[in-house]
Amino acid sequence: MGVPTSTLGDYKNRADLVIFWGCNPVHAHPRHLGRYSEFVRGYFRKDGRNDRTVIVVDPRNTHTAQTADIHIQVNPNEDYELLNAMRALLRGITLEEDKIAGVPINKIKELIDILKKSNYGVIFFGMGLTQTSSHHRNVDSAICLTRELNDYTKFSISPMRGHYNVTGANAVFTWNTGYAYSIDFSRGYPRYNPGEFSSVDLLMRDEIDASLIVASDPASNFPADSVKNLFKHPLIVIEPHETPTSAFADVVFPVAIAGIECEGTAYRMDHIPLRLRKVREPPNDCLTDAEILELIIEKVKELKGE
């Protein structure tokens, strides 16, 4: 909410400055560069790559950085300082340091000039910003920078969402409860508090006594200590594939895959809903996730006498 963002079509047709901050789409989002952000011809960007300036901010010389015009090699975990310095320079402040987060001050000044002179800029940020030591505060500062750049030119910011349809989960939670994630229903109404009700924190403090995992794989993504606590209690998994989580589950519901064996809606990383069609029958009359969850809700209501 309140994020200065736009859709991928907008970036494709208008953006002449693309910043990849802490992400490596060449490997993580292979179709992103070709379809929306770098090598694609847009309505106002007829010459494709030549009409765009591409900047990569990353501690490593990634394959995305090798396609860029400018590579800002920031020190690991010091993105916050770089963002902070950029915002100060944008306000016309002279800084005391001559090197910030491993980047010479002159290079940051040049970068600010390029940012201000662009017609339409966009920042794509990935896990290099969200999963390093400053976490959500990096994103806070990046959003502030984007907002402040809009005093000079048009600027947008967009997260590079990782897994398939994570944006969909956020969108559905938001229209149902008002909150995107970390929601607790134990009092009968939704409460939101990341750090208290977020799944990793609940598992770390061992506050759960059972878990239901729908179409996700915490065993390969969560910290080891939290996964140990997850496996201590009854674990139910609704999942079409075999994963490290389903391998240790007490109950596994195999389901039809949306977009192949049943129809459904998925959200693209820019919150655009896409309708998915069914192309083949699911094996052995497999049910869909929605059908299984509805049956579970019916049974729970029956057991609770509602």
Partner 1 sequence: MGKSIEDIKVMELYLGNKIVKLGKYFNVSGKKEDEKIKIVVEGDLKNVKRIGEKMSIGEIIINGNIGMHIGNQMTGGKIIVNGNADDWAGAMLKGGELEINGNSGNYVGAAYRGFWKGMEDGIIRVKGKIGREAMLWARNSKGANKWPILYCGNAGSFLGIHNHGGTIIVNGDADLYIGADQAWGTIVVKGKILRKLPSYKKTCEVNEITLPNGEIIKGEFIEYSGDHSVKKETNGRLYVLA
- Interaction site with partner 1 (CB under 8 A): 80-81, 84-85, 87-88, 91-93, 95-97, 100, 133-134, 137, 140-141, 144, 185-187, 192-196, 205, 207, 209
Q: How far is the CB of 194 from partner 1 (least distance, A)?
A: 6
Q: How far is the CB of 287 from partner 1 (least distance, A)?
A: 27
- The smaller minimum CB distance to partner 1, of residues 133 and 221, is found at 133
H or E stretch at 77: none
Residue 137 backbone phi and psi in degrees, to 5? -70, -30
What residues form DSSP beta bridges with 155?
A: 121
- The smaller minimum CB distance to partner 1, of residues 234 and 273, is found at 234
Residue 256 backbone phi and psi in degrees, to 5? -70, 145
Nearest one of 92, 98, 97 to 116, comparing CA atoms: 92
**Sign of the four-CA dihedral 167, 216, 142, 40:** negative
What residues form DSSP beta bridges with 252?
A: 237
CA distances 85 to 15, 109, 284, Å, are 24, 10, 59
Distance between CA atoms of 239 and 212, rounded to whole angstroms? 11
Q: How far is the CB of 79 from partner 1 (least distance, A)?
A: 11
- The smaller minimum CB distance to partner 1, of residues 85 and 238, is found at 85
- The smaller minimum CB distance to partner 1, of residues 33 and 101, is found at 101
Q: How far is the CB of 57 from partner 1 (least distance, A)?
A: 16
| Strand, helix or coil for residue 56 | strand
- The smaller minimum CB distance to partner 1, of residues 171 and 266, is found at 171
Q: How far is the CB of 216 from partner 1 (least distance, A)?
A: 22
Q: How far is the CB of 179 from partner 1 (least distance, A)?
A: 9
Q: How far is the CB of 243 from partner 1 (least distance, A)?
A: 28
Query: Is there a contact between 211 and 232 (Cβ–Cβ < 8 Å)?
Result: no
- The smaller minimum CB distance to partner 1, of residues 47 and 96, is found at 96
Long-range contacts of 232-240 (CB under 8 A, 24+ apart): 232/206, 233/208, 233/209, 234/209, 234/210, 235/210, 235/211, 236/210, 236/211, 236/212, 237/212, 237/213, 238/212, 238/213, 238/214, 238/289, 238/292, 238/293, 239/213, 239/214, 239/215, 240/215, 240/286
- The smaller minimum CB distance to partner 1, of residues 18 and 82, is found at 82
